[in-house]
Amino acid sequence: MGLFKSLSVVSFFTLVSRILGLIREMVIASKFGASASTDALFVAFRIPNLLRRLFAEGAFAQAFVPILSEYREREGDERAKLLIAHVASLLSLLLLAISILGVLCAPYLVYVIATGFNDASDQSELTANLIRLTFPYLLFISLTSLFASVLNTWGRFAVPAFTPALLNICLLYTSDAADE
């Protein structure tokens, strides 16, 4: 795939994702407004999202792609696939442990991250419950990022570029389902 074609595909799907993200924000604002519940949802989603940046899009992703590319070139596809399997297994175990820890420690995370919620026990409790629901997102989105890196290394750009749009579609669907 040529550079221009790859750039066009990634740019198009990034634009689609951004438009869907804008629509998602508009739907959330329209349906839920500025409320304590919306604040609780945003805080609950922010914590695993922050960790996603560390595990999925931070130093790990930036280091993994060049290493995988070099390893694939030097050792071949079969050995590269074995490396991917080992990295995916270790990353899955680490993220599963962090997700379980996040679910178990949700009230403490609210206490540390959202100090303004500590006075409102209902909001604090809602935020802790929402953290328990959103924390597994870290595992799945980080693995999605890992496999997007793998696909990019193999020159497949469309699917990894479209996956953020899928997240927005899912969030739009769930906000629509919450209305029913």
Structural domain of 146:
3-179
Evaluated on CA atoms 153, 156, 159, 165, the torsion sign reads positive
pLDDT at 179 (0 to 100): 57
Note the pLDDT of residue 129.
Answer: 93
CB 14 within 8 A of CB 161: yes
pLDDT of residue 177: 62
Burial grade of 63 (CB within 10 A; 0-12, 13-18, 19 or more): exposed
Low-confidence residues of the chain: pLDDT under 50: none
Question: How many structural domains are present in the chain?
Answer: 1
Model's pTM, two decimal places? 0.80
Q: What is the pLDDT of residue 61?
A: 74
> What is the torsional sign of CA 63, 73, 87, 141?
positive
Rounded to whole angstroms, the Cα distance separating 107 from 99 reads 14
The Cα-based distances of 40 to 33, 95, 174 in angstroms read 12, 23, 16
Sign of the torsion formed by the C-alpha atoms of 150, 155, 158 and 164: positive
The structure tokens 């909001």 sit at: 123
103 close to 135: Cβ distance less than 8 angstroms: yes
